[in-house]
């Protein structure tokens, strides 16, 4: 038995990355093929408390919107939640006591 590599069985370089999800699918012809799709992006969370950020889109739909529509326009928008930002401002105004 000769060992032969068939180029049709090798996935193209863009699909060889593990960032793509792979799913084995049986076709109607009885062949087993691999379907590739991008992984779902995680929802954005606050850097301080880890709560989900409201008003921010996940990366999967962010390419459909402009940068200002993707995140809030306030300082630290898309990085800190409003609760943590409020406490951050209080600490910075009062000084480190």
* Confidence (pTM): 0.57
pLDDT number for residue 12: 86
Q: Which residue has the tokens 């880890």?
A: 50
Phi-psi region of 96 (alpha: psi -120 to 50; beta: other; left: phi over 0): beta
pLDDT at residue number 1 = 46
Instruction: Check residue 44 and give its pLDDT.
Output: 87
Q: Compute CA 34 distance to the chain's CA centroid, rounded to the nearest angstrom.
A: 22
pLDDT, tens digit, for every residue of 8-27? 577 888 888 888 899 999 99
C-alpha–C-alpha distance, residues 17 and 2, integer Å: 29
Q: How far apart, in whole angstroms, are the C-alpha atoms of residue 97 and residue 86?
A: 17
What residue segments make up the domains of the chain, in order of their start? 11-40, 43-97
Confidence at residue 27, expressed as pLDDT on a 0 to 100 scale: 93
- Render pLDDT for 30-87 as a digit per residue (tens, 0 to 9): 999 999 988 887 888 999 999 988 877 776 665 666 766 777 788 888 889 989 999 9
């Amino acid at each position: 038995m000769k060992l032969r590599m068939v180029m049709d069985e090798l996935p193209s370089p863009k699909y060889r990355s593990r960032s793509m999800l792979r799913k084995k699918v049986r076709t109607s012809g009885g062949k087993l093929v691999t379907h590739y799709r991008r992984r779902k992006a995680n929802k954005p969370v606050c850097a301080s408390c880890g709560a989900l950020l409201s008003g921010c889109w996940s990366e999967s739909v962010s390419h459909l919107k402009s940068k200002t529509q993707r995140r809030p326009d306030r300082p630290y928008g898309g990085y800190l939640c409003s609760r943590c930002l409020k406490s951050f401002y209080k600490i910075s105004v009062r000084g480190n006591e």
